[in-house]
């Protein structure tokens, strides 16, 4: 594996999953692999789990880590070719990516979508510019359309928590007050439609995700019907893909409550975090035994470590 920007970069998902499970048992088994190697983490947007778990994963492999919050600490980066840079941008992606490639052996990039320009977002304009101009492997720390490190950690969590061979996994839209990316949901759908689970999606009309990521997954617009007998309920808000970036704030009945969880098969509650309490999910669920959000967050480290190790082994 050279880059890690979606499940499509992973030649063997089962093997990567096994590696993550093995690393979870013995996190320091591969600690010589990252010696004298540097990971650069570049953030255009806020982060808690991604930043700390990826740093922890790199440290477990003896890598050095450099973190840049590009928006607040770096120069404003120009992405367009041939522009006269007499406006707000100070440094071109060609030089920025070229320089970072000399200081680091692997770089991670977090770049959220605009949620106003669908075409730019869904063409992964920013991430692809880094891929184009980087001389080292690039991993996504959540891009405009996908969050593969999160989805990989979610897969690890489901595999370790499941009670039956092929559990029912439901991705449910949940209420929110801001326009949020579709990335976590797109990515979860992409990984789940590729996993040995019975996967369905439930969302209000007008909030169907892009077909390119759901791969024909059944979408049910009645949440109660979808939740019936679920083993895992993955809640997430996303703004509309069809009416791009638009939100609805009149759908509080989609909040995950104990009443909703009672429809499931003693189901587990999942969310990528950060989660807004009593908007997306009620305290009674998040504070209950059903919630496995902290286990998901814990698995972020092992997902990142398996990805970094795989890239290091292939000789960065
Ligand atoms: C991000 C998202 O993609 O939805 C990151 C999730 C890992 N979440 C948010 O931006 C939440 C912000 C909020 O206002 O609650």
Q: What is the CATH number of the domain that holds 36?
A: 3.40.50.1370
Q: CB of 144 closer than 6 A to ligand 1?
A: no
Answer yes or no: is the C-beta of 184 below 6 A from any ligand 1 atom.
Answer: yes
Give long-range contacts, CB 8 A cutoff, 24+ apart: 266-270: 266/290, 267/170, 267/227, 267/230, 267/231, 267/232, 267/233, 268/161, 268/231, 268/232, 268/233, 268/292, 269/233, 269/235, 269/293, 270/154, 270/157, 270/158, 270/232, 270/233, 270/234, 270/235, 270/296
Cα of 59 vs centre of ligand 1, distance in Å, is: 26
Chain segment 97-113, per-residue pLDDT in tens: 999 999 999 999 999 99
pTM of the entire predicted model? 0.98
- Does the structure show a pLDDT above 60 at 156? yes
Query: 162 and 124, same structural domain?
Result: no
The answer on 292 and 177 residing in a single domain is: yes
CA–CA dist 12, 21 (Å, integer) = 15
Q: Are residues 247 and 291 in the same domain?
A: yes
214 in the same domain as 125: no
Q: Looking at the structure, do residues 220 and 123 belong to the same domain, yes or no? A: no
What's the rounded mean pLDDT across residues 125-146? 98
Range of the domain at 307: 7-146+299-313
180 lines ligand 1 (CB under 6 A): yes
Render pLDDT for 25-65 as a digit per residue (tens, 0 to 9).
Answer: 999 999 999 999 999 999 999 999 999 999 999 999 999 99
Structure-block tokens of residue 31: 């600690």
Q: Do 107 and 55 share a structural domain?
A: yes
Atom number in ligand 1 closest to CA 184: 3
Q: Is residue 91 part of a domain?
A: yes
**pLDDT class of 229 with cuts at 50, 70, 90:** very high
Q: Are 88 and 153 members of one domain?
A: no
Q: What is the pLDDT of residue 316?
A: 43
Using alpha carbons, list the distances in angstroms from residue 168 to 162, 192, 217, 224. Answer: 10, 10, 13, 14
Residues 157 and 82 in one domain: no
The per-residue pLDDT of the chain, averaged, comes to 97
Ligand 1 center from residue 180 Cα (angstroms) = 6
Residue from 114, 146, 181 whose mutation best tests the ligand 1 pocket (most atoms within 8 A of CB) = 181
CA-nearest residue, atom 10 of ligand 1: 180
Q: How far is the CA of 111 from the centre of ligand 1 (A)?
A: 12
pLDDT in the model for residue 173: 98
For residue 111, tell me if it sits in a domain: yes
DSSP H/E element including 268: strand 268-270
State whether the beta carbon of 181 lies less than 6 angstroms from ligand 1: yes
Residue 2 is assigned to a structural domain of this protein? no
The three state secondary structure string of 113-173 is: CCCCCHHHHHCCHHHHHHHHHCCCCEEECCCCCCCHHHHHHHHHHHHHHCCCCCCEEEEEE
Same-domain check for residues 269 and 304: no
Mean pLDDT of 9-13: 97
Q: Are residues 113 and 180 in the same domain?
A: no
**pLDDT given at position 314:** 86
* 1 domain residue, yes or no: no
Distance 275 CA to ligand 1 centre (A): 8
Tokens (6 digits) for 65? 């880590």
174 lines ligand 1 (CB under 6 A): no
Same domain, 117 and 196: no
From the DSSP assignment, how many helices (H) and strands (E) are in the chain?
13, 11
Residue 107 lies in a domain: yes
108 CB within 6 A, ligand 1: no
Using pLDDT thresholds of 50, 70 and 90, give the confidence band for residue 315.
Answer: low
pLDDT of amino acid 215: 96
Q: Identify whether 68 is part of a domain.
A: yes
Q: How many domains does the chain have?
A: 2
Q: Are residues 254 and 309 in the same domain?
A: no
CA angle, 47 as apex, 42 and 48 as ends, to 5°?
125
Residue 263 lies in a domain: yes
Percent of the chain surpassing pLDDT 70: 99
* Pairing, β 218-220 against β 232-236: unpaired
Given ligand 1 and candidates 52, 147, 180, which is best to mutate, with the most ligand atoms within 8 Å of its CB?
180
In a domain, 51, yes or no: yes
What integer is the mean pLDDT of 10-28? Answer: 98
Residues 6+ apart with CB under 8 A from 61: 30, 31, 33, 34, 37, 305, 308, 309, 312
């Amino acid at each position: 594996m050279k880059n890690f920007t979606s499940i499509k970069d992973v030649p063997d998902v089962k093997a990567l999953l096994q590696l993550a499970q093995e690393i979870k048992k013995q996190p320091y088994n591969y600690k010589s692999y990252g010696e004298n190697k540097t990971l650069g983490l570049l953030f255009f947007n806020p982060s808690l789990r991604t930043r700390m778990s990826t740093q922890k994963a790199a440290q477990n492999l003896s890598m050095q880590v450099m973190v840049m919050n590009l928006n607040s600490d770096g120069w404003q980066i120009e992405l367009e070719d041939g522009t006269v840079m007499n406006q707000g941008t100070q440094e071109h992606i060609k030089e920025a990516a070229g320089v970072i490639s000399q200081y680091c052996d692997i770089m991670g990039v977090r770049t959220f979508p605009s949620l106003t320009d669908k075409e730019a977002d869904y063409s992964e304009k920013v991430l692809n510019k880094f891929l184009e101009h980087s001389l080292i492997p690039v991993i996504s720390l959540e891009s405009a359309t996908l969050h593969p490190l999160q989805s990989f950690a979610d897969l690890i969590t489901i595999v370790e928590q499941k009670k039956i061979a092929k559990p029912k996994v439901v991705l449910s839209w949940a209420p929110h007050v801001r326009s949020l990316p579709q990335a976590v949901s797109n990515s979860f759908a992409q990984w789940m439609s590729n996993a040995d689970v019975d996967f369905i999606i439930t969302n209000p009309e007008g909030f169907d995700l892009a077909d390119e990521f759901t791969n024909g997954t059944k979408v049910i617009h009645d949440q109660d019907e979808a939740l019936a007998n679920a083993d895992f309920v993955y809640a997430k808000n996303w703004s509309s893909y069809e009416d791009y970036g638009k939100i609805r704030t009149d759908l509080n009945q989609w909040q995950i409550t104990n009443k909703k969880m009672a429809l499931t098969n003693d189901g587990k509650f999942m969310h990528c975090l950060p989660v807004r309490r009593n908007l997306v999910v009620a305290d009674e669920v998040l504070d209950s035994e059903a919630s496995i959000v902290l286990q998901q967050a814990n698995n972020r480290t092992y997902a990142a470590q398996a990805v970094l190790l795989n890239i290091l082994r292939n000789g960065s």
